[in-house]
Amino acid sequence: MSTDQPIASAVLAVPRHQRRAIFIDVDGTYAYRSRVPEAHAQAVRTARANGHLVFLSTGRPPSMLSDHMLAAGFDGLVASAGAYVRVGDAVLTNRTLEQSLAQRITTVLDRHGVCYLLESPETVFIPDHARPRLLAIAEQDSPELKAQLLKVSVSRPDPWSKACVFDSAVSMQCLLDEIGPELDSVANSVSSTGRHSGELFARGLSKADGMELVLEQLDIAVEQSIAIGDGHNDIEMLALAGTAVAIDGAPASLLAHADFTVPTPEGLGLARAFESLGLTETS
């Protein structure tokens, strides 16, 4: 899917020192159960009209961002926890797992009968043995997520960038120990339903890497950046940002980097953050 809109034309009218680059986590920050409050979408539209640059920064791959999530319009995307980065229509990076490592991952997951999906920018893949369980889990979490998963590819992507575990009989640490030191994991950003769940990705990679690429590409100082998130995979992003905003109830390790907190999407926290930061002021 595409963000469908170029860099906001209003940017050119904003003095460089006043221009802000805003990086927004999706699940639990911009959206709740895959639904975006209209107040959040309107906040994004207004901030862009005011000359600021707004980017989604998510653990999801582009292929799992619905038209509904992208409808407000964005200046680019940091996806797959930093493995994929796009500014406008220009892809800055698209990192995938080396073939032998990818094979090792699926071998271990299949050995334990894990319910998982494989993610690439173009598609996601669910093995046949995992499909019924994953659809049942998604139905509990979000009808929209289930609808997305019903459309996923029946062919395994090659290459791919990340594996998302929804239901495992063994812990994520056990899976990591068997696969090897090249990987790391965080809590699942889409759903925590099931037994053990999490996301497996290349060790050392984070949303902050994608954020840095965007800032360098656009020649925006880190001090002019804003990051908003709620989960473990947002820690590096908030630690890097000039202004860091956490969602109420976020883990302590994330709150330690926050300048202030706002409510969850049900309380329209993102809209409140934009207002507090002066991003949606109208003349």
* Average pLDDT value for residue range 39-46: 98
Mean pLDDT of the 229-256 span: 97
Asked whether 187 and 251 are in contact (CB, 8 A), the reply is: no
In the predicted model, what is the mean pLDDT of residues 5-18? 59
Which tens digit of pLDDT belongs to each residue from 55-112? 999 999 998 899 999 999 999 999 999 999 999 999 999 999 999 999 999 999 999 9
Indicate whether 235 pLDDT > 60: yes
Q: What is the pTM of this model?
A: 0.88
Confidence check: pLDDT of 264 > 70? yes
Mean pLDDT of 252-264: 98
Tell me the average pLDDT across 119-127. 89
pLDDT above 50 (res 1): no
pLDDT band at 192 (very low <50, low <70, confident <90, very high): low
What band does 126 get if pLDDT is binned at 50, 70 and 90? confident
194 band by pLDDT with thresholds 50, 70 and 90: low
